[in-house]
Structure 1
């Protein structure tokens, strides 16, 4: 029997330091998030970061927390329920970090008789700290607890034409009644070294301004290329002027070189250069979360207006948009059909 496991990032159980701390510990101790030797990661995370970060992060979560719970979890549950209603096969939801685990999701499917699973990391792009860690964790749980299961993973869908159309239409809808001067595509940031570590050729990804536009097998796992490629495809679909669009990366950690340009620097630059009406989209996420609702929608507006900007529009993620639900169901049906076809 076939089934689907949708997986997103996760969330603490409550916006309190007590619940944020173990969540951050699990997240930051992931070797694909902070990719340093274990001994150094322990010192860094448990000896330094977790002494102050839980209180600060809890305060940020409190600003965006809904009555029903974490926005990311609530939105993911709504999306999952809608997919479940249309998919005609069992659908479960898991999170990479937190109490709503991947193991629990696989157990839910097993209890319904599922032996063949379509794993869907809810990330449009491939990155070792998002897509890859979901796949690795799911396979670890399968090998340890569900050896009878067979798992197939949905590829990253950053360049899927149907997804580009859906996201572009969502941007158009979000820009209604907003006469923008500029659109900023703000993607989740990762360290530059992650790009090079994910390069199967070990020589193509130089982050030199040319490698992302030079065809290579490395693009299959290059987050930076995929972000630029998605932006270009949306620009082309919507017919956006080159001088009215830019791309940036948010959420830096520590002092390592991360992908540039930095989103907070872009807010300041655009405001100082005379942009008055700024629209921001966050295409690395399919569901609004702490990064989009607090860092972009709240802090970003303050940063932009402090630099001289006047009007600011954060365009929501796809969330549980019915067209997004329908597209996911179509992908699930495609997988079922391929699985049923003779080899």
Structure 2
């Protein structure tokens, strides 16, 4: 019988405060928004923005929002993440050791690597839980993991699961949840909402500097200039889900949420899309948020509460938010399969 150490699987999501207090949210936002991949300004400009604009005001507002969705078990993002890790561990068995980490907050990436090291695990598959690639999510998680690993006497062998925005298992997991909602109440329109990004960050992924948002239909066909483009990944995910849900072209649309600051971000904005749908006569809408694999503040509060209110105030009547894939059976199988394919 082999006594080889198991392979480590590190699932990484964005992060969450330790609790919904203003102090905990401030700590979390300070770490999150100090990341130069998230706020890609000069160090001085980033520091001034964070300490003179964001931290004096935003923690109180964000803490209030977190309290609306916090559960007895804790942060929904963390609860769903732990359930996913447990499900994947059961699926993969003793040949693997699965751990969950957050890019910001706790449990941290260095803590997870410490645990692997203590268990004699030096082969790790890193799984950033972001279907569509962005420097501020996948890029940051990969960078932090490799930085934390490089400080060790024994640097582990790490392989990275690539963006899975077009993976059939991921798409079917999300589509199955949407079908369940549609069976309860057939919507007039389906809105796919993705986390937004500043335009400048989207364009940075185009190394040619001449394609992204410069050419008509720049996201319609994959080519070298847009291969790692977040916007193209979002469009491809939305189109694939619409096809699986058998939606005609006029019955679905795409929008971007969670804008921060005054810079130009990807459009249309989700809040505007919901308003326009209601004003155009759409009375029932189904909202799917495929860039989030775990329900969190951005799905439950921003869309599920505030988005629903915006839609109804504009004349809409029936609003449904499809759950994230969370720890659904299909997504557990998808994560396990993709991890096995990348085992070093």
TM-score normalized with structure 2 length: 0.95
Instruction: Give, in angstroms, the shift of residue 323 of structure 1.
Output: 1.6
> Which contiguous aligned blocks of 4+ residues in structure 1 show a shift greater than 3 angstroms?
none
Out of 256, 259, 277, the residue aligned to residue 284 of structure 2 is 277
Aligned with residue 20 of structure 2, among 15, 20, 26: 15
Gap change, CA 1:147 and 1:48, over 3 Å in 2: farther
Q: Deviations over 1:62-97 (max 9, x none)?
A: 000001111100110111111112212111110000
TM-superposed deviation, 1:143? 0.9
1:26 aligns with 2:31: yes
Structure 1 residues without counterparts, runs of 5 or longer: none
> 1:245-324 residue pairs with structure 2 within 5 A?
245-324=252-331
Structural RMSD (CA): 1.3
CA distance in 1, matches of 2:32, 2:314: 33
How much has 1:16 moved relative to structure 2? Answer: 0.6
Q: Is the 8 A contact 1:92 1:106 kept in 2?
A: no
Question: CA shift at 1:147, angstroms?
Answer: 4.5
Alpha-carbon offset, residue 330 of structure 1:
1.8
Measure the CA separation in 1 of the matches of 2:153 and 2:78.
25
Contact kept? 2:205, 2:226, Cα under 8 Å: no
Tell me the residue number matched to 1:108.
115
**Matched residue, 2:58:** 53
Question: Which whole-Å CA distance do the structure 2 matches of 1:166 and 1:321 have between them?
Answer: 7
Q: Which residue of the partner structure matches residue 69 of structure 1?
A: 74
Task: Give the distance between the partners of 1:208 and 1:119, measured in 2 at CA.
Answer: 34
In the alignment, the residues of structure 2 paired with residue 96 and residue 317 of structure 1 have an alpha-carbon distance, to the nearest angstrom, of: 19
Would you say 1:3 and 2:3 are equivalent positions?
Answer: no
1:217-236 aligned within 5 A: 217-236=224-243
Aligned length: 337
Displacement of 1:3: 1.2
TM-score (norm: length of structure 1): 0.95
- Which segment drifts farther, 228-237 or 144-153? 144-153
User: Is 1:129 matched up with 2:133?
Assistant: no
The answer as to whether partners of 1:90 and 1:112 remain within 8 angstroms in 2 is no
**Contact 1:87/1:332 (<8 A) preserved:** no
* 8 A Cα contact 1:204 1:216, kept in partner: no
Aligned with 2:188 (options 178, 181, 187): 181
Conserved in 2, the CA contact under 8 Å of 1:76 and 1:320? yes
* Closer, same or farther: CA 55–204 of 1 in aligned 2, 3 Å: same
| 2:97 counterpart residue number | 90
The 3 A distance-change label for structure 1 pair 207 and 28 is farther
**Which region of structure 1 is more displaced relative to structure 2, 98-107 or 197-206?**
197-206
Q: Deviations over 1:203-231 (max 9, x none)?
A: 22125542112431233310000000111
Deviations 1:198-257 (A, max 9, x none): 223232212554211243123331000000011111112222111110000001111100
CA distance in structure 1 between the aligned counterparts of 2:292 and 2:234, rounded to whole angstroms? 12
Q: Structure 1 residues 87-96 or 199-208, which shifts more? A: 199-208
Separation (CA, whole Å) in 2 of partners of 1:264 and 1:270: 10
- Secondary structure of the equivalent of 1:46? helix
